[in-house]
Chain A
């Protein structure tokens, strides 16, 4: 018995290690946005090409509003191809991706869009009013709106294929459901 008891010494470290491991399951930055479940603030801005874009015209569709900036590196650089790929894959099914470029220079934004060959509409929020309405804390942040125009999911950091697909599939299923 006594011989065994000393092996309790290394075991003492285990609870601490388990607790630290648990830390990976939660993020201290996940502070729930009060906007989730509320109607998305509307906006009408000009796209980089100069065409007008009003969020209200997309009511009835699942809309992905992505806040980004050309200086947001590397997260925005990582998610740009993901957004483009999924926009192409889902646009047939009535999904709209809208990029909102914030606190940026026009030339830099145009270069970014060109470099990644983005084809979804991108507007510039020059005065920052839209980002304030959405409570954007940093870039990138992405809001998933359901067909009734409510914010359903707020995603902080680069969007991945997985996040995009699971969220959008769920919202599409809801819209198609009873």
Chain B
């Protein structure tokens, strides 16, 4: 019953989306407003229907309606209330609903915001959005239907993947998908620009905030994913260059490139072709990411499901890329007559270099991700590409990018004079050198670490120099300090939002560097009452306890930790789920600004007399999360509504 109702609604929504897409296209061609309005109504209908589907599925989860196949597969009577909600998007079918719902939501916002302001581009953008939405609804009806009847109705379900029983599961996928789907809007406007031939700046201005919003959510999704990996998976890391992590990271890289190259087009009328291509690439990569996750063609910890959906996504990816690039080829002549680069020492070239590096990073990540496939196709050999490859290539790229973060915002447009360079960069360079020397004097011997310190100090000082200079200018006209600073942030929120984001990245860079260079770990087997030591911490094994939870059985170890004085008891555990072959580790940790103490329970004797424990002291990892918060605050500042400048 529930399944049929949901399936019926999905079908109608699909029909409406197809109709709306076609109507919007016809309306755009003929300019008949009534037809466009009809497409808008269809879009509203789709939104209402997809929302109802989503609500219905959630209700089925909450009421343990095992007559719906998807509910039976992803929950059981023991699943706690909270995870019955997150379980809705815990697997493929539900995540496609979530995706479609967000896409429908974005479509409605697009209608509300741009219906009046963007006469020429809007109908085509709407047609593109509805077309893409129709594809996802097609997936929901044929390849991965969440509403499928289960006969016979089982007495109990299979249960959720235990790794997904974490608070991160409500935020991580939601943020990630908001980011992924968010890039659909800039893509839709880029398509509209190509179709109408208005490849000037209108579409850029229209999509600027959309892009920052999508970028913001994608960043948030990646960071929460890192945090989830760190505190759930129990290997003590936050990033593993797993194919699916890469899949989310690639659009982030090209999206970041786009955010920067937009500024050159706005200012200097350059890079039109490049910008359109970046948007197409970014959107293509979001599809590729979904394809990679769901097709199972590359082994990954994330690919939970396989099936015909992969073929469907590949077909759609092909359609999107060939159409979009075909349109670019068709409009080729229009991309001529661009501005020229005046000098290599200029802001344009700094931004250009930034773009080249970001795209190069995206390319290496892409290459590393699909290399196992390539190797099997060409040489018939199964290989896997690990973290060393990605690190070796990307660390220098990222370090250069951080350096450019200091150069780009301060160097002059067109052609930087020696005067300009001296005025802006004397102090940052000087303090960068001081930072390197200080790090060396304090005993840091790793070249990479010294370079990182020098570069981050350099960039931080450029930001400080710029901000003090601007504040001083305001003080001179008689404002007092705090209003002057606040006014600056609000008035030039895009510029300073960007600076805050840069600060966040600097902090993250330090955290990543520190955790790589200085973390230590050990694994040891202790008898009850025995003590071991690592990096100044002493930990004593006090014994094991067993706990029966609603849907699993848990063995908890108790370890008293001290470093001179007693810091507390850490309780890492192993969770045994009936539906899983291997137990799931439950990590316990003590987070600190300088270092985290991180305990993972290994094997143990059944009588509790001894246990193996993996202990890690992870240095500076907390700064990654702190940097993440700073970064998101900066992005929020940059998204603030544009204030109409009256003075």
Contact flag A20-B297 (CB < 8 Å), given A6-B329, A28-B372: yes
Q: Is A24's CB under 8 angstroms from B297's CB?
A: yes
Question: Within 8 Å CB of A72, what residues of B?
Answer: 158, 579
Question: Within 8 Å CB of B288, what residues of A?
Answer: 20
- Per a CB cutoff under 8 Å, which of A9, A17, A74 touches B318? A17
Q: Is A20's CB under 8 angstroms from B291's CB?
A: yes
Complex formed: what's the CA distance from A168 to B314 in Å? 34
Within 8 A of A (CB), among B578-628: 578-579, 581
- Per a CB cutoff under 8 Å, which of B73, B325, B372, B578 touches A74? B73
- Residues of chain B touching chain A, judged by Cβ–Cβ distance below 8 Å, are 69, 72-73, 152, 154-155, 157-159, 288, 291, 295-299, 310-311, 314, 317-318, 321-322, 325-326, 328-329, 332, 370, 372-374, 376-377, 382, 578-579, 581
Q: Is A28's CB under 8 angstroms from B317's CB?
A: no
Complex formed: what's the CA distance from A23 to B297 in Å? 5
Supply 10 further A-B pairs (C-beta < 8 A) apart from A9-B328, A26-B373. Answer: A10-B325, A17-B321, A22-B373, A22-B377, A23-B373, A28-B296, A29-B299, A71-B158, A71-B578, A72-B158
Question: Within 8 Å CB of A111, what residues of B?
Answer: 155
- Per a CB cutoff under 8 Å, which of A9, A27, A29 touches B325? A9
- Per a CB cutoff under 8 Å, which of A10, A26, A28, A137 touches B322? A10
Chain A 60-78 against B: per-residue CB contact (8 Å), 1 yes, 0 no?
0000000000011110000
Complex formed: what's the CA distance from A115 to B154 in Å? 10
Q: Is A19's CB under 8 angstroms from B321's CB?
A: no
Residue of B nearest to A71 (CB): B579
Question: Within 8 Å CB of A115, what residues of B?
Answer: 152
Contact flag A24-B579 (CB < 8 Å), given A7-B329, A10-B321: no
Question: Within 8 Å CB of A74, what residues of B?
Answer: 69, 73
Q: Is A13's CB under 8 angstroms from B321's CB?
A: yes
Q: Is A10's CB under 8 angstroms from B329's CB?
A: yes
Asked if A138 is at the interface of the complex by the 8 Å CB criterion, the answer is yes
Q: Is B299's CB under 8 angstroms from A28's CB?
A: yes
- Residues of chain A touching chain B, judged by Cβ–Cβ distance below 8 Å, are 6-7, 9-10, 12-13, 16-17, 19-24, 26-29, 71-74, 103, 111, 115, 137-138
Shortest distance in angstroms between A170's beta carbon and chain B's nearest beta carbon?
Answer: 24
Number of A-B residue pairs, CB cutoff 8 Å, is 79
Question: Within 8 Å CB of B321, what residues of A?
Answer: 10, 13, 17
Shortest distance in angstroms between B161's beta carbon and chain A's nearest beta carbon?
Answer: 12
Q: Is B317's CB under 8 angstroms from A17's CB?
A: yes
Can you identify 17 A-B contacts, CB atoms within 8 angstroms?
A7-B329, A10-B322, A13-B325, A16-B370, A17-B321, A19-B373, A19-B377, A20-B291, A22-B377, A24-B314, A28-B372, A71-B158, A71-B579, A73-B158, A74-B69, A111-B155, A137-B581
Nearest 7 A-B pairs (CB), nearest first?
A: A23-B297, A28-B299, A10-B325, A73-B158, A13-B321, A6-B332, A6-B329
Q: Is B314's CB under 8 angstroms from A21's CB?
A: yes
Contact flag A17-B314 (CB < 8 Å), given A26-B376, A103-B581: yes
Residue of B nearest to A21 (CB): B314
Complex formed: what's the CA distance from A151 to B276 in Å? 56
Complex formed: what's the CA distance from A138 to B326 in Å? 46
- Per a CB cutoff under 8 Å, which of A13, A20, A138 touches B581? A138
Question: Within 8 Å CB of A6, what residues of B?
Answer: 329, 332
